[in-house]
Amino acid sequence: MERADAARNRRAILHAAEELLAAHDLAEVSMDRVAAAAGVGKGTVFHRFGNREGLMRALVESRVQSLTTAISSGPPPLGPAAPPASRLAAFFDAVVELASKNVKVMAAFEQASADRLSSPVYVAWHAHVSGLIAAASSSLDADLTAHLLLGSLHSDLMRRFLETGETDRMAAGLRSMVATLLR
């Protein structure tokens, strides 16, 4: 169980990092600045998160927690009681919504991440998407198709769509791709 002061420091560090990212580019968000803004020592930030990539990963993980819960035990269409194709479309709708509310946090994680494919969030999402694809269509290479679909979210073009408010268009495009693939 996490100590109360450690939990408070963790929340303060994540909040400070988010606030700094809202006002600055990732290159300007150093661990020193985060520590100062959070009111903790730099050693506390490094001890807790290891490096800037670990800090950005923790920020992303805090954002995806409710989506993870909805996928594993929530009601349809995200939850396990819905058909695979419906769950897949709902998943991408939820990811687009999540990304649209956290554009800078998600972009900062991608910039700071040495290997996005090994991040716990990506690994979990890939397992979920590939499992749904395999359940919906045995003729597809579920592993590769999941990477392709998830990879489409990680591009400068998609970031531009999010930043310019074209989230509905992006979500509709992903739903259309899913429907076409699973026909």
Task: Provide the domain count of the chain.
Answer: 2
Same domain for 45 and 75, yes or no, is no
For the cut 90, the answer to whether the pLDDT of residue 157 exceeds it is no
- Interval 140-168 mean pLDDT: 89
- Interval 72-95 mean pLDDT: 96
CA 149, CA 114: separation in Å to the nearest integer? 20
% of the chain exceeding 90 in pLDDT: 61
- Note the pLDDT of residue 148: 93
Same domain for 32 and 61, yes or no, is no
For the cut 90, the answer to whether the pLDDT of residue 115 exceeds it is no
- Note the pLDDT of residue 112: 74
- Note the pLDDT of residue 104: 80
pLDDT band at 182 (very low <50, low <70, confident <90, very high): very high
The CATH number of whichever domain residue 39 belongs to comes to: 1.10.10
Same domain for 111 and 171, yes or no, is yes
Same domain for 20 and 109, yes or no, is no
Same domain for 160 and 133, yes or no, is yes
Same domain for 5 and 66, yes or no, is no
Q: Which of 28, 21, 22 is nearest to 56 (CA)?
A: 21
For the cut 90, the answer to whether the pLDDT of residue 68 exceeds it is yes
- Note the pLDDT of residue 125: 94
Same domain for 154 and 165, yes or no, is yes
Neighbours of 124 (CB within 10 A): 16
Same domain for 118 and 58, yes or no, is yes
Same domain for 41 and 55, yes or no, is no
- Interval 5-15 mean pLDDT: 91
Same domain for 31 and 61, yes or no, is no
- Report the range of poorest mean pLDDT among 27-41, 68-82, 90-104, 151-165: 151-165
Q: Which tokens go with 2?
A: 């996490």
3-29 b/e (C-beta count within 10 Å ≥ 16 → b): eeeeeebbebbbebbbebbeeeebeeb
- Note the pLDDT of residue 183: 87
Same domain for 29 and 117, yes or no, is no
CA 59, CA 161: separation in Å to the nearest integer? 22
Same domain for 112 and 94, yes or no, is yes
24 lies in which domain range? 1-50
